[in-house]
Chains A and B, each alone.
Chain A
Amino acid sequence: MENQEFEILLNKFIEGNISSEELNVLENSSEFSTYKKILESSSEFSTPYVDNDKSFNAFMEKTKFNEKEQKPVRKLNRYYLVSGVAASLIFLFGLFQIFNTNETYATDFGEQLAVLLPDSSEVVLNSDSFLEFNKKDWKKNRKLNLKGEAYFKVKKGSKFEVVTSEGSVAVLGTQFNVNQHKNFLEVHCFEGKVRVVRNKEKFILTQGDAVRQIGNAAFESWNFSEVSPTWKNFESSFKNTPLRFVVQSLIKTYGTTVISDNVDLDKRFSGSFPTNDLEIALKTITTSMNLTYDLEEGKKVTLRSKE
Chain B
Amino acid sequence: MEVGDKSLCDSKVFEQVYKTNATALRNFVYYKCGDIDVAEDIIQDCFMTIWKKCSTIVFKSVKSLLFTMASNAFLNMVKHKKIVLEHQKLNKNINDRTNENPEFLLEEQEFLKKLESAIADLPDNEREVFLLNRIDKKKYREIADLLNISIKTVEKRMSKALKQLRNQIEGI
Q: Do A and B bind each other?
A: yes
Interface residues of A (CB under 8 A from B): 7, 10-11, 14-15, 31, 34-35, 37-39, 41-48, 50, 52-53, 55-56, 58-59, 62-63, 66, 70, 72-75, 77-78
Q: Is the interface of A mostly helix, strand, loop or mixed?
A: helix
CB-CB under 8 A for A41 and B87, given A59-B44, A72-B51: yes
Chain A residue with the shortest CB-CB distance to B21: A52
| Residue B124 CB within 8 A of the other chain | no
**Does chain A have a CB within 8 A of B80?**
no
Find out whether the CB atom of B87 lies under 8 angstroms from the CB atom of A45. yes
- State the CA gap A48–B51 with chains docked (Å): 26
Q: Check B48 against A62 for contact (C-beta < 8 Å).
A: yes
**Contact status of A56 and B15, CB under 8 A, knowing A45-B135, A46-B85:** yes
Report the minimum CB–CB distance from B131 to chain A (whole Å).
Answer: 8
Residues of B in contact (CB 8 Å), total 48
A-B contact pairs, 27 of them (CB 8 A): A10-B159, A15-B139, A34-B170, A35-B162, A37-B111, A41-B87, A42-B115, A42-B134, A42-B165, A44-B88, A45-B86, A45-B88, A45-B116, A46-B87, A46-B88, A46-B135, A47-B26, A50-B36, A52-B23, A55-B22, A66-B52, A70-B52, A72-B53, A73-B53, A75-B9, A75-B55, A75-B56
Question: Please, which residue of chain A has its CB at the minimum distance from the CB of B170?
Answer: A34
Residue contact B55 to A45, C-beta cutoff 8 Å: no
The answer to whether A14 and B158 have CB atoms under 8 Å apart is yes
> Could you tell me if B134 and A45 are in contact, using CB atoms closer than 8 angstroms?
yes
Is A47 a contact partner of B140 (Cβ separation < 8 A)? no
Contacts of B112 in A (CB 8 A): 41
Q: Which residues of B contact A53 (CB under 8 A)?
A: 19
B13 CB to closest chain A CB, in angstroms? Answer: 13
Interface check B155, CB cutoff 8 A: yes
Q: A15 to chain B: which residues have CB within 8 Å?
A: 139-140
Residues of the B chain whose Cβ atoms lie less than 8 Å from the Cβ of A42: 115, 119, 130-131, 134-135, 165
Contact A34 B23 (CB under 8 A): no
**Of residues A37, A46, A47, A52, which shows the largest number of chain B Cβ atoms within 10 Å of its Cβ?**
A47
Contact of B55 among A37, A41, A59, A74 (CB under 8 A): A74
Q: Which residue of B lies closest to A53 (CB)?
A: B19
Smallest CB-CB separation from A44: which chain B residue? B88
Most B Cβ at <10 Å: residue of A42, A48, A66:
A42
Q: A44-B88, A63-B51 are in contact. Are A56 and B159 (CB under 8 A)?
A: no
